[in-house]
């Protein structure tokens, strides 16, 4: 595993947040409320922050001071995104990747492996939304009974 930032964050209780790319409107506010509650409680969240919803969750989390883990579905970038540097410098952000730096493209396979790594590292898993029969649903089923899994949604797409 490759990393940039405060590796000590891995010792904290971690909640993985995953969400499909397409999210019903009803779920959006639930995800925002969840992110704000985690931020206000100072809880550590690990996510790929790749889908639009995951990026929105990161936006809310970055407004707090709690630790965050960004899991990459590619190798670490040569240059870290400038908006992330202050959070790395103050010790609240850890960027992880299971891939060598030569892996420069995000694919369905690298996303799957990244998500699996996050779920293995996490103490509990929160799913904002997952499409029936999608890759995320198959991965969540692998972890049922192994990890505590919370779904913010209870219905299929609307």
The C-alpha atoms of residue 10 and residue 118 are separated, in whole angstroms, by: 11
On whether residue 43 sits in a domain, the answer given is yes
DSSP string, 94-137: EEEESS-TT--S--HHHHHHHHHHHHHH-SEEEES---TTSHHH
Work out how many domains the chain is built from and give that number: 1
Q: Considering the entire predicted model, what is its pTM?
A: 0.89
On whether residue 117 sits in a domain, the answer given is yes
Tens place of pLDDT for every residue, the chain, 158 residues? 899 999 999 999 999 999 888 888 888 989 999 999 999 999 999 999 988 889 999 999 999 999 999 999 999 988 888 888 999 999 999 999 999 989 989 988 999 999 999 999 999 999 988 887 778 888 888 888 788 888 887 544 33
Domain with 72, as residue range(s), is 2-151
On whether residue 157 sits in a domain, the answer given is no
User: CATH number for the domain including 138?
Assistant: 3.40.50.450
The C-alpha atoms of residue 29 and residue 133 are separated, in whole angstroms, by: 24
């Amino acid at each position: 595993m490759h990393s940039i930032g405060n590796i000590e964050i891995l010792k904290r209780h971690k909640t993985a947040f995953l969400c499909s790319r397409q999210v019903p409107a009803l779920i959006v506010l639930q995800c925002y409320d969840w992110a704000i509650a985690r931020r206000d409680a100072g809880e550590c969240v690990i996510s790929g922050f790749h889908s639009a919803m995951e990026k929105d969750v990161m936006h809310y989390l970055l407004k707090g001071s709690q630790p965050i883990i960004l899991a990459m579905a590619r190798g670490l970038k040569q240059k870290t995104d400038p908006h992330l540097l202050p959070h790395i410098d103050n010790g609240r952000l850890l960027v992880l990747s299971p891939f060598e730096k030569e892996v420069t493209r995000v694919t369905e396979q690298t996303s799957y492996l990244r998500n699996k790594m996050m779920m293995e590292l996490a103490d509990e898993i929160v799913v904002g939304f997952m499409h029936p029969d999608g890759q995320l649903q198959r991965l969540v089923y692998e972890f049922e009974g192994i990890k505590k899994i919370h779904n913010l949604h209870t219905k299929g797409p609307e």
